[in-house]
Amino acid sequence: MKRLCGILALSLASGLAMAAPGVALKDESVLSKPVAGSAAVGKLNKGMAVDIVAKQGGWLQVKAGGKQGWVRLLSVRAGAGGTGGNGLAGVAGVAGAVTQKSDSSRVVAVAGVRGLNEEDLKGAKFDAAELARLEGYTVSASQAQAFADKSGLKAVKIKALPKPESAAAGETP
Amino acid sequence: MKKIFSILALLLGAQVASSAAFDLGNILQLPEPNKQKKTEQPAQPSSAQSSAISPLMLLGKTPVAEEVRIGRQVAGDLLGAAPLVKDDTLQRYVNTVGRWVAQQSGRKDLTWHFGVIESEDINAFAAPGGYVFLTKGLYKRLNNEAELAGVLAHEIAHVSKKHHLDLLKKSALIGTLAQSVSKEVKSGDQAVQNLIGNGAEMLARGLDKDAEFEADRIGAVFAARAGYDPWGLPTVLQDMAAINPGDNRLALLYKTHPSAADRVAHLGEAVGDRFDSLPAGKEFPERFYRIK
């Protein structure tokens, strides 16, 4: 829910909707609860526009096609349809037009902010003093372990994620 | 909003007492639970300075020392473009969280360095040898320590997989120059600079997309292995996906990375239901250090 405050703040600021726009990345059931295996209340089709209304752990509460329910956090991507990555332009194009307005206002708002660009990096001069400062903040392995112990953070054995078989996740030719 | 800020200020104020936990001077110096592996090698930057670089093999006294020597140059160059945010508490906090996550990376041999740099851009960088940076603009978007851990873990993954080092090895730049006399001059390590050019420029060129997708997969797992909520990095990617890709603050990120939307899609494909059975990780929204 906390994260959604950020996303929601965007759409609230634009005054358009209570929810943040998103696009379904795959065909998936919309569940009644944020728990795998709970009852399905609807279905997402890849490319479908959704409204993201809440987040809980690895789940998003979405509204789509008149239904409201929960899908996995990564089954939907936030952002208005047409403004996603190029790879999604194909699937998202249709859904895109709906929420474009809220984004264009944002571009104007930040147009004056000049970022860290390629030229800045190319022209950068080695800064020995800043590097020394950086190295002065170094935390040792034992300090990190003590921090974890105090925080109740325990190292967990977790398997590496496999490379997806279809390299085409979200990419349409 | 003002009310929220004052509530935040209260919370931050109330945290002063508990935030002593972050005062590293107060943290007990506990012995490491794991014995050092015999393959580990000292990676002190100072020792790296004395060795010369062999262009093709990047050989030094040890491969790790050479890696650190290159990373140090890249880091110094990047800091020349964007200095550290002047906030000791912030920098110590990021180094503490970062080092704990890096302990899960298989590169315990490195002396890791983390920094938040002065830029409103939304971006993060890694350089060989354990140098990791994120911008103030990205940091300010984070909501909890699990998200910070996820962002740092993505960069740690680049270092542990040696993505930039491999890029340099493949690069035509390597091999164009013979061994140089190694001297640390005002501009940094001249020998390294001769080989890789301006180190920060390497960061502007970026890696290939597969390396970024891989770092997302590995990073999400590193953060979870450190005991954090595994959804930190995915949530940050969703946050970035929600921003108009034409936003100036994302210009360099999107020049060097696939879009956040594509990264969400790829990571989602890899994760599927695999995180369902993970123990609940920690987020620490309350103690997460917020830039004033």
Stronger pLDDT, B109 or B2, i.e. the higher one: B109
Mean pLDDT value of segment B178-205? 66
Contact call for A107 and B244, based on CB within 8 A: yes
Measured in angstroms, the CA of A70 and the nearest CA of chain B are apart by 14
The mean of the pLDDT values for chain A is: 76
Mean pLDDT value of segment B22-40? 42
- Looking at the partner chain, which of A104, A141, A164 has a beta carbon nearest the beta carbon of B266? A164
Closest CA to B45 of A124, A145, A128, A142: A128
Whether chain A has a CB inside 8 Å of the CB on B209: the answer is: no
Which are the contacts of A35, defined by CB distance < 8 A and separation ≥ 6?
A: A70
What pLDDT score does B196 carry?
A: 72
Contact call for B103 and A141, based on CB within 8 A: yes
Which are the contacts of B259, defined by CB distance < 8 A and separation ≥ 6?
A: A84, A85, A86, A87, A88, B241, B245
Question: Could you tell me what percent of chain B has a pLDDT over 90?
Answer: 57
Chain A residue with Cα closest to B114: A134
Answer for the pair A62, A71: CB distance below 8 angstroms, yes or no: yes
Whether chain B has a CB inside 8 Å of the CB on A108: the answer is: no
What pLDDT score does B65 carry?
A: 87
Q: Domains of chain A: which residue ranges? A: 2-110
Fold for domain A2-110?
SH3 type barrels. (2.30.30)
Answer for the pair A38, A31: CB distance below 8 angstroms, yes or no: yes
Mean pLDDT value of segment B138-159? 97
Chain B residue with Cα closest to A100: B244
- Kindly indicate the confidence band of residue B159, based on its pLDDT and cuts at 50, 70 and 90: very high
What pLDDT score does A172 carry?
A: 41
What would the 3-class secondary structure string for B177-196 be? CCCCCCCEECCEEHHHHHHH
Check whether A97 has a pLDDT greater than 90. no
Contact call for B96 and A147, based on CB within 8 A: yes
Whether chain B has a CB inside 8 Å of the CB on A160: the answer is: yes
Residues β-bridged to residue B134: B116, B124
Whether chain B has a CB inside 8 Å of the CB on A142: the answer is: yes
Closest CA to A34 of A68, A65, A77, A81: A68
Pull the structure tokens for residue A151.
């925080």
What pLDDT score does A114 carry?
A: 59
Whether chain A has a CB inside 8 Å of the CB on B45: the answer is: yes
Check whether A127 has a pLDDT greater than 50. yes
Q: Domains of chain B: which residue ranges? A: 40-271
Taking each helix axis from N to C terminus, what angle separates B260-271 and B209-225, rounded to the nearest 10 degrees? 60
Mean pLDDT value of segment A6-22? 54
ipTM surpassing 0.90? no
Pull the structure tokens for residue B82.
């964007």
Check whether A69 has a pLDDT greater than 70. yes
- Kindly indicate the confidence band of residue B187, based on its pLDDT and cuts at 50, 70 and 90: low
Whether chain A has a CB inside 8 Å of the CB on B85: the answer is: no
Instruction: Check residue B197 and give left, alpha or beta (phi > 0: left; psi -120 to 50: alpha).
Output: left
- CA–CA distance, B180 with B183 (Å, rounded to integer): 9
Measured in angstroms, the CA of B65 and the nearest CA of chain A are apart by 16
Chain A residue with Cα closest to B75: A131
* Burial class for B86, CB neighbours closer than 10 Å (0-12, 13-18, 19+): exposed
What type of residue sits at position B63?
A: P
What pLDDT score does A82 carry?
A: 57
Answer for the pair B198, A121: CB distance below 8 angstroms, yes or no: yes
What type of residue sits at position A75?
A: S
Sign of the alpha-carbon torsion through B215, B86, A2, B23: positive
Check whether A61 has a pLDDT greater than 50. yes
Whether chain B has a CB inside 8 Å of the CB on A7: the answer is: yes
Whether chain A has a CB inside 8 Å of the CB on B11: the answer is: no
Q: If you search the block for the tokens 């590995």, which residue do you land on? A: B218
Measured in angstroms, the CA of A43 and the nearest CA of chain B are apart by 17
Q: Read off the pLDDT of residues A23-54 as tens digits, 9 standing for 90 and up.
A: 999 999 999 999 999 999 999 999 999 999 99
Q: Read off the pLDDT of residues A72-88 as tens digits, 9 standing for 90 and up.
A: 999 999 998 654 443 33
Whether chain A has a CB inside 8 Å of the CB on B115: the answer is: yes
- CA–CA distance, B24 with A142 (Å, rounded to integer): 11
